[in-house]
Every structure is written in C-alpha cells, then in structure tokens.
Amino acid sequence: MNYNNKFKEKKNSFLKKENIFIFLIILFCVLLDRYTKNEVIINFSENVFFINNFINIDLIWNTGIGFGFLSTESSLIYNLVSALVGAVIVILCYFTIISEIKDKLIYAIIIGGAIGNFYDRLIFNAVPDFIDLHYDRYHWFTFNVADIFITLGIIIFLINEFLKNK
C-alpha cells in the first residue's frame, strides 16, 4: 500500500459516522458547560444562592486543577498546569480517534469537560466553579458541570478497565 492510499484510509476512518457522533457528544458537553457557567456568572456572581439543605450556587474562581488542587498565585505554575491540561486534551483526542466506540464515548465525555475548563483557563485565567454540595457545615469541593463530565468519564473508564481485566 503506498502513502496516498494510507492517507486516504486514515482520512476516511476519521470521517466515519461514529467519529462525527463522538464530536457531537464533545460539543454537547462543552456547550452545556459554557451555558451553565455563563448563567451563573451573569446571575449569581454577587451572592450565594440557596437551593436546599444540601446544595448552593456559590461562584468561586479556581486557579488550580480539579477541585481546587494546585491553586496558586504563581503565573508560571498556572501556565505550566494549563499547558499540561492542553497536552492531555490532545493525547485524549488521539486515543479517541484510534479507540473502539465504547472507549470513544468515555473519552468524549472527559474531553468535553476538559475543553470546557481549558477554555475558561485561557479566557478568564481561572475556572468558575459554582456547585456547592454540603451537609450542615461540611462542604465538598465546589465544582462545575465540566468537572462532572470529567469525573463521570474517569469513573466509567476505571470501571470499564476493571471489567476488561476480569
């Protein structure tokens, strides 16, 4: 097989219906995340909004990674973490393209959430987190819709890998 045939084969496999479907899942995750963040930034930036005894809307700006880990005032560390997040997104995109459909779905959910947070890192230099789960005075880390997608994707990935190895 010559180089032109290999290129055409790769191009055709990239444009398969399943890859377009996966792209739409990523796009859905990003758009839902953007919508929720925009609504919170516009409508809830000043006050904590009480929903019930277990959940509030409370906008905070996270300069770290998931759940506020590695939060820092250092622009060097922030930029290094942002570059690392960007690299992980690119690597996940590669794995998505070469994977089977079930794995593509898992990666798509993670990528959708990661792109949502990466966008915020680039545009706002921080990620808006606003879902505050709590019981009495004990609060979980404040998070957003993108974090939900990333966490669900990782949990499903781990369960899937565990079941593959059984």
Query: Of residues 33, 58, 120, 147, which has the active-site annotation?
Result: 147
Segments in the chain forming alpha helices (H): 3-14, 17-43, 75-98, 101-124, 145-165
Q: Retrieve residue 151's tokens.
A: 């966490």
Query: Of residues 120, 129, 132, 136, which has the active-site annotation?
Result: 129
CA 37 to each of CA 1, 15, 67, 104: distance values in angstroms, whole numbers, following the listed order: 49, 31, 16, 26
The residue whose two tokens read 């990466």 is: 118
The residue whose two tokens read 């000043």 is: 46
Active-site annotation holds for 136:
no
Active-site positions read 129, 147
